[in-house]
């Protein structure tokens, strides 16, 4: 059966590239954060990661040999613009030009994310995302990138998961820079959305044919029971986690409930005139990352806004996240109903298990195959039900540096031996190859221009 859904894989620069001190790259706030004692599981770092900076051609060969037609990757801001300001670094431009051309030479369509969390350290030193100047610097950076690399991909994601780049980074202390200040987090959230707005405007001006969108981490949040307290807390959690990021993009305002939870958003110094117009300018698609399925239970003793998040069973993954594909189906239907008529792209979905190489030299991961069967099926079902979902990107192409979890969480379709850098496609990679062959994606409409 052929569909017009693009089936791909995803990665992010900091999680795979390594070579953090090569090719003129400057430090990002993740390079700094990972050095803090206790920040990363087992004290690991991403200095080598998958060594993709040196092995990109072989990695793309492997991707092509698995018949994967689309690859979502991210550009390292620190590699392209080491200080976050000024001219682009020619070595960084060359690296990404080769990579993007290398994709197309192998029949792989690149989907490029401009920001997947690796903020140049000099901008972090000047205040990072809580500072409006960071969003402005990102807008300038986007213009330079579009001019240099814009012709090498048709699909662009501006910002990956602003919720993580704001709350996990500035409030919950789990991600770079590891701060624990809720006020910084809400300021960061607005500025990340504004950065999306600046980048979108830059594309419209410089490269109007590009297809552009933002990617949010979303989950259809439901109450644990129909008790009034659970229902009220579920509504609040939905506003904090989904509404804060979806309302301004798709409805042009934060809305009363979000503003009542985050009164800073009514401060005209933070949300300035014209910001919401930029943020809500129509994109070409909306990106959705989805991993797990939670219920919200009111609990006065919880320090987290008086509620707890309960994972829906079964939760077989190493993170204790759910394997409940009906949640992705419900999410896609809900986003289309509640927020937008734009095409939807599932820009990340996947699961982590304790994978290992067995004596036959293979990696058998039936749990991941089960997960992927379910979630790709949910996408097909949503499509059959009339939702305009156009793409699905498995997270991740290969095992990589899972942020503060280091190398302990393996999300890849391809196993990476981090000692030898050997790649071994897991059973799930073979399953995905066969799935893709049976649900052929449209041929990429390649229109590479010289860049
Ligand atoms: C997402 C991130 C991605 C990866 C997966 C597991 O939130 O975008 O980089 O860490 O989670």
With a cut of 90, say whether residue 25 has pLDDT above it.
yes
How many whole angstroms from 291 Cα to the centroid of ligand 1?
9
C-beta separation of 223 from 230 below 8 A: yes
DSSP strands (E only) in 51-119: 70-74, 109-115
How many whole angstroms from 157 Cα to the centroid of ligand 1?
15
> In angstroms, rounded to a whole number, what is the distance separating the alpha carbons of residues 155 and 157?
7
- What does the longest C-alpha to C-alpha distance in the chain come to? 63
Overall average pLDDT of the 41-46 stretch: 97
Overall average pLDDT of the 268-290 stretch: 98
**pLDDT tens-digit map of 52-85:** 999 999 999 999 999 999 999 999 999 999 999 9
> In angstroms, rounded to a whole number, what is the distance separating the alpha carbons of residues 163 and 300?
24
With a cut of 60, say whether residue 451 has pLDDT above it.
no
* DSSP secondary structure letter of residue 190: H
What global pTM score does this model have? 0.96
396 cis-preceded (ω within 30 degrees of 0) = yes
CA nearest ligand 1 atom 9, residue: 12
- Which pLDDT does position 179 carry in this prediction? 98
Atom of ligand 1 nearest to the CA of 160: 8
Catalytic residues: 161, 348
- Which pLDDT does position 325 carry in this prediction? 98
- Which pLDDT does position 441 carry in this prediction? 54
C-beta separation of 213 from 284 below 8 A: yes
> In angstroms, rounded to a whole number, what is the distance separating the alpha carbons of residues 168 and 189?
11
Mean pLDDT (the chain) is 96
Substitution site in 289, 292, 394, 405 for ligand 1 pocket (most atoms within 8 Å of beta carbon): 289
Does the beta carbon of 16 lie inside 6 Å of ligand 1? Answer: no
Determine the 3-state secondary structure of 422 from DSSP: strand
Overall average pLDDT of the 164-169 stretch: 98
β partners of residue 434: none
C-alpha dihedral over 287, 293, 296, 301, to 10 degrees? -110
- Which pLDDT does position 446 carry in this prediction? 43
- Which pLDDT does position 442 carry in this prediction? 52
How many whole angstroms from 64 Cα to the centroid of ligand 1?
23
How many whole angstroms from 287 Cα to the centroid of ligand 1?
13
Q: What percent of the chain shows pLDDT beyond 90? A: 96
Write out the DSSP string of 58-79: HHHHHHHHTT--EEEEE--HHH
- What number of residues does the chain have? 451
Does the beta carbon of 164 lie inside 6 Å of ligand 1? Answer: yes
With a cut of 90, say whether residue 130 has pLDDT above it.
yes
**pLDDT tens-digit map of 405-418:** 999 999 999 999 99
Atom of ligand 1 nearest to the CA of 215: 8
Opening angle at CA 186, ends 181 and 188, nearest 5: 90
């Amino acid at each position: 059966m052929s569909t017009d859904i693009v089936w791909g894989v995803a990665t992010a620069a900091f999680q795979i590239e390594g070579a953090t001190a090569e090719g003129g790259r400057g430090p990002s706030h993740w390079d700094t954060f990972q050095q803090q004692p206790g920040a990363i599981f087992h004290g690991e770092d991403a200095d080598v990661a998958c060594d993709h900076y040196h092995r990109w051609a072989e990695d793309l060969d492997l991707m092509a040999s698995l018949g994967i037609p689309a690859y979502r990757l991210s550009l390292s801001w620190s590699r392209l613009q080491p200080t976050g300001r000024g001219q682009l670094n020619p070595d960084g431009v060359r690296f990404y030009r080769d990579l993007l051309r290398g994709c197309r030479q192998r029949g792989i369509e690149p989907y490029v994310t401009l920001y997947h969390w690796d903020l140049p350290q000099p901008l972090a030193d000047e205040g990072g995302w809580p500072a409006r100047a960071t969003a402005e610097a990102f807008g300038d950076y986007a213009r330079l990138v579009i001019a240099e690399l814009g012709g090498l991909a048709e699909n662009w994601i501006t910002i990956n998961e602003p919720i993580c780049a704001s709350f996990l980074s500035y409030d919950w202390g789990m991600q770079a820079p590891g701060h624990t200040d809720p006020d910084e987090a809400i300021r960061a959230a607005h500025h990340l959305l504004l950065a999306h707005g600046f980048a979108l405007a830059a594309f419209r001006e410089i490269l109007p044919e590009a297809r552009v969108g933002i990617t949010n981490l979303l989950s259809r949040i439901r109450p644990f029971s129909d008790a009034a307290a659970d229902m009220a807390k579920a509504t609040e959690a939905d506003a904090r986690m989904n509404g804060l990021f979806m309302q301004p993009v798709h409805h042009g305002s934060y809305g009363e409930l979000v503003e009542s939870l985050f009164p800073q958003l009514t401060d005209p110094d933070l949300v300035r005139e014209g910001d919401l117009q930029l943020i809500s300018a129509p994109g070409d698609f909306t990106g959705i990352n989805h991993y797990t399925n939670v219920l919200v239970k009111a609990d006065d003793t919880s320090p987290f806004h008086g509620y707890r998040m309960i994972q829906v069973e079964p939760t077989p993954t190493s993170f204790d996240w759910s394997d409940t594909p009906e949640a992705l189906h419900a999410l896609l239907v809900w986003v289309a109903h509640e927020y937008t008529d734009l095409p939807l792209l599932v820009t990340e979905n996947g699961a982590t298990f304790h994978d290992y190489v067995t004596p036959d030299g293979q990696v058998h991961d039936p749990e991941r195959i089960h997960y992927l069967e379910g979630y790709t099926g949910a996408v097909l079902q949503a499509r059959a039900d009339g939702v305009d979902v156009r793409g699905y990107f498995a997270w991740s192409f290969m095992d990589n540096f899972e942020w503060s979890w280091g190398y302990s969480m393996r999300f890849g379709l391809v196993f990476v031996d981090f000692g030898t850098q050997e790649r071994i496609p897991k059973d799930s990679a073979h399953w995905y190859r066969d799935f893709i062959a049976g649900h052929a994606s449209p041929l990429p409409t390649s229109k590479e221009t010289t860049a």
